[in-house]
Chain A
C-alpha cells in the first residue's frame, strides 16, 4: 500500500530523516521511538507538508513532491500530533467540512455512531472539547475523507488509559475493514494493541522491524530503543 524509500529531510544543517525505508502492507504498522527521532517529521513529509527527497508511493502512485491537498486527494489522511482541531468550527462543522456525501464509506452518521461522545457535543467548538474528544474529532475528520491509509501521529498522547483502550478498539476495527494504518506511537502498549508489527525509529532511520510481541516481551530491547520499559508507561 504505502511504500517509502530512501526518504531524506534536511532542515538547514540538521539531517532529520536519514534514508527512511518502510512499507505498510494491508497489515497496520506501528512506528515507535524516542522523542526527537524524526517520527513527526516522517508523517509530515509523507503528507507533503515538509519537503523531502526520496520515493513515496501509495498503491504504486508516486506522491513525492505533491502538495498536501493532492496527497490527501490521493487517499492519505493524517491525524496530526496535538489534534489540531479548528477553534472556530463546531464538531458538526468539522465533519461537514470533509464529508463526501451519503454514499461514501464513512458518513457523518457513521462517525457519530463510532464516537457517540461527538454526537453529544456536535454544537461545541473544536477547543471546548476534552483532549480525548478532540482526538476522536481529529480521527473522525480523517476518516470522513475515506482514505485508503490513515497516518496517526501519537493519538494516545495525553489520554487516560480507558480512552486509549477505546481508541485501540476503533483502530483495530479500521484495520480489519481494510483501511491502511501507519501508527506513530511512543506508547508501546497502544502500538502493540493495534499493530502486529512495529518499526523502531532511531535518529532518522528505521533501526529495526519486529513483531510487536517481541518488543513488548524484551525489556532490554525496550530500554535500548525507547529508553524506558513498557511497565513505566
Chain B
C-alpha cells in the first residue's frame, strides 16, 4: 500500500466518527465508532504483531493473543480500581508501561523458546505456549482470579474525559494503531528489518553475512510482543477486564483468521481483516439464523481465502495492478539482456 493510500485511509478513519454521525442516529454512530471501528483497531493491533512476524520474518505464531493477554493481565493486576484488586494501587501512567514491558519480555521469551523451530513446528510450539498460559491463568486464583478473570479495568481519565467515552477510546486506538503501523513500515526498511526478510528467504546466507540469525529472530519476537502488548492493553480496556477466555484457543485462532483474511503480505492486512471480522462477528447473528451464524462467518472467510490466498490486501493489490498496469517505479524490470 502506497504512502498516499495509507494517508487517505488515515484521514478517512479520523473523520469516520463525524461521517457516521451524518448518516446514522447518534446511538448507532457511537456503536459503530467504538464497537466496530474501535474494536477493529485494537484487535488489528494484535493481528499486526502476527502480520509483522509472518510477512517479514516468515514466522507464523499462535502466541500473539497470549502476549496481548500478558499485557492485559499485567495491567489488570497492577492498576488501581480493578476488581478484585490483586496488586493494585498503580495509576495507568505506571501500569501501562509495566504491561508493555511484560509483553515485550514475554515476546522475547517466546522467541527464545521457539528459536530453532519453523513452519508447522513453530505453529505448534507457540500454540502449546498459548494454551499453557491460558490454562495457568484459568487455574490460578491468587494472581489471575481463575476462571472469572479480573474486571473493571476501565482505563484512565484523559483530558478530563473518561476512557469509556467512545470518541476518546476510538481516537486513542487510532493513534496507537497509526503509530505502530508506521513504526512497522519504518522498521522493515532498517538493516534490522532487512535482516529479517533475509532470514525468511535464506537464514544460512544471512549468517554468512555476519548476522546472528537467532538473536534477530528473538528480537523480532520482542518487537511483536511489544505490538501485541499495545493491543492487549487496549483490548483489555475495551472489554473492561480480562479473563482466560479472552486468551484461549478461540481468541488465538481469531487473530490468525484476522491476519489471513486481511492478507499476510502487508501490515495493512491486519486492520482490513480486523474490520471485516468485527463487522461479521457483530452482525452475522442478525443476518442469519441465531444458532448458525458461525457457519456464515466461516463461509465468508472460506470464500475470501479461496478467492484470494493472500487475503483482501492481495486482492486489492491485484485489482489495482490490473487497472494501472504500468505505475512508475513499480513496473517489472524489462527482460534483462542475456548475459550468461
User: Chain B contact residues (Cβ within 8 angstroms of A): what range?
Assistant: 20 to 34
Can you list, as one digit per residue, whether each of B189-209 has a CB less than 8 Å from chain A (1) or not (0)? 101001101101110110111
Q: Are A97 and B340 in contact (CB under 8 A)?
A: no
Q: Does B212 contact A (CB under 8 A)?
A: yes
From A102-110, A156-164, A194-202, the one touching the partner chain is: A156-164
Q: How many residue pairs at the A-B interface have CB separations less than 8 Å?
A: 85
Using A47-B208, A69-B207, A145-B209 as known contacts, say yes or no to A86 and B340 having CB atoms under 8 A apart. no
Q: Does A128 contact B (CB under 8 A)?
A: yes
Which residue in B191, B205, B339 is a CB contact (below 8 Å) of A133? B339
Using A72-B208, A97-B191 as known contacts, say yes or no to A158 and B201 having CB atoms under 8 A apart. no
Q: Are A124 and B201 in contact (CB under 8 A)?
A: no
Q: Are B204 and A69 in contact (CB under 8 A)?
A: no
A68 CA / B209 CA spacing, docked (Å) = 8
Q: Which residues of A contact B207 (CB under 8 A)?
A: 49, 67-69, 72
Considering only residues 141-163 of chain A, those with a C-beta below 8 Å from chain B are: 141, 145, 158-160, 163
Q: Does B336 contact A (CB under 8 A)?
A: yes
Q: How far is the CB of B238 from chain A (nearest CB, A)?
A: 35
Using A123-B329, A129-B336 as known contacts, say yes or no to A89 and B197 having CB atoms under 8 A apart. yes
Considering only residues 35-82 of chain A, those with a C-beta below 8 Å from chain B are: 47, 49, 67-69, 71-73, 77-78, 80
A123 CA / B202 CA spacing, docked (Å) = 20
Q: How far is the CB of B63 from chain A (nearest CB, A)?
A: 24
Q: Are B212 and A69 in contact (CB under 8 A)?
A: yes
Q: Which residues of A contact B340 (CB under 8 A)?
A: 130-132, 135, 158-160, 163
Q: Which residues of B contact A133 (CB under 8 A)?
A: 336, 339
A128 CA / B333 CA spacing, docked (Å) = 7
- A selection of 8 A-B contacts at a CB cut-off of 8 Å is A86-B202, A87-B201, A97-B198, A97-B209, A132-B340, A133-B336, A160-B339, A163-B339
Residues of A participating in the B interface, judged by any CB pair closer than 8 Å: 47, 49, 67-69, 71-73, 77-78, 80, 84, 86-89, 93, 96-99, 121, 123-124, 128-133, 135, 141, 145, 158-160, 163
